[in-house]
Amino acid sequence: MSNAADVSVLRARGLRREYGKGEGLVRAVDGVDLDIGAGETVAVMGPSGCGKSTLLHLLGGLDRPSGGEVWLNGRRIDDLGEKALARMRRTDVGFVFQSFHLMEELTALENVELSALLAGRSPRAARRRAGDLLEQVGLADRARFLPSALSGGQRQRVAIARALSNEPLVVLADEPTGNLDSAAVLDVLQLFERLHESGQTLVIVTHDARIAATADRMISMRDGAFVDETRLSGGTTGQLGAFVGLED
């Protein structure tokens, strides 16, 4: 995995995550090395249970590795305490989950502004930023809706807006289209495309080859380890929908 960009935003060396002991030992992530450059979009592919999500959690400091190192923007994070990790997640990492993980009792606007409020922004600045982001994801008219009143695609767009709230160094997306229909997948892909164009670093975990094809680089994973890496020359430029087979 040597095709790292000149400046690595995210770097992993010998990363391992094991569960259980003895005969029941499971190596969810098994000696992964990874470099992700600024502005790069990387897709991690593989079948269910191959360790993709675990890898993403390790990279974002949500989980602790059993061994190896993780570096974010030149700072080693695998040995940070929980408090420091939380502070790092506030400002440097944005998460997008397959099942959206929106707060059911908060409106779309309140969900998006939550990250900014946790990061200590003023209520007014957080609200303004959330409004701008919802406009960017095309949901300005749904800002006051509760998640239960939104479609799956709209909920995921709210989640993406929330991930961008604190202008993170990297957005980590875990099966972001896993629960969406084709039209909603296209919406989300277009959104990622715009993020890519704006220079946002993205790591997308997916088992959907059409999504992976939109990345700069595609890494295949099996049994916790990287088995293949492909640099996609076309990236996500051009007619995105047609490219991924979602449109005629």
Partner 1 sequence: MLGRILLVGRIAVRDLRRRRIETALLLLALTAATTTLTLGLVLRDAAGDPYQSTREATGGPDVVAGVDRHAKLSDLEELAGAPGVIDHGGPYPVTPAKLQASGRTSDVQAVGRDATPASVDQPKLIQGDWVSDGGVVVEAAFAKALDVRVGDPVTLDGRSFEVVGVAVTAAMPPYPGGTCIVAVGCASGATPEVLAKLPPGLLQNPGLVWLTQADVRRLAPDPGSLAYVMNLKLADPDEARAFVDAHSSEGLAAPRLESWENILEGVTELARDARILLMIGAWLLGLLAVASVSVLVGGRMADQTKRVGLLKAAGGTPGLVAAVLLAEYVLVAVVAAAAGLAAGSLIAPLLTGFGAGLIGGTGTPSMTMSTVGSVTAVAVGVAVVATVVPALRAARSSTVDALAGSPRPPRRTGWLIVISARLPVPLLLALRVVARRPRRVVLGVVSIAITVSGIYVALVLNAFLTAQPLAAGVDDAQAELLRQALLAVMVILFSLAAVNAIFITWATALDNRHSSALARALGATPGEVSAALAAAQVLPALAGAIVGAFPGGFVLFHAINAITGGDSDRATLPPLWQLLALVLATVLVVAALTAVPAYLGGHRPVTETLRAELA
Residues that bind partner 1 (CB under 8 A): 53-54, 57, 60, 62-63, 82-83, 86-87, 89-91, 95, 97-99, 101, 103-106, 110, 113-115, 117-120, 123, 126-127, 146, 148, 162, 166
Q: 247 Cβ partners below 8 Å, 6+ apart?
A: 186, 239, 241
Question: Which C-beta is closer to partner 1: that of 98 or that of 236?
Answer: 98
Question: Which C-beta is closer to partner 1: that of 84 or that of 227?
Answer: 84
Q: What is the DSSP letter of 227?
A: E
Contact 91, 168 (CB under 8 A): yes
Q: Which of 76, 42, 78, 41 is nearest to 57 (CA)?
A: 78
Q: Which two tokens stand for residue 236?
A: 């996500």
Q: Which two tokens stand for residue 157?
A: 């767009």
Shortest gap between Cβ of 151 and partner 1 (angstroms)?
Answer: 18
Question: Which C-beta is closer to partner 1: that of 106 or that of 240?
Answer: 106
Shortest gap between Cβ of 11 and partner 1 (angstroms)?
Answer: 21
Angle 175-26-10 from CA coordinates, rounded to 5°: 50
Question: Which C-beta is closer to partner 1: that of 23 or that of 82?
Answer: 82
Contact 180, 152 (CB under 8 A): yes
What is the residue type of 54?
T
Shortest gap between Cβ of 173 and partner 1 (angstroms)?
Answer: 13
Question: Which C-beta is closer to partner 1: that of 52 or that of 217?
Answer: 52
Question: Which C-beta is closer to partner 1: that of 30 or that of 110?
Answer: 110
Shortest gap between Cβ of 217 and partner 1 (angstroms)?
Answer: 25
Q: Which of 30, 75, 87, 29 is nearest to 54 (CA)?
A: 29
Give kind and range of the element (H or E) at residue 201: strand 201-206
Contact 104, 147 (CB under 8 A): yes
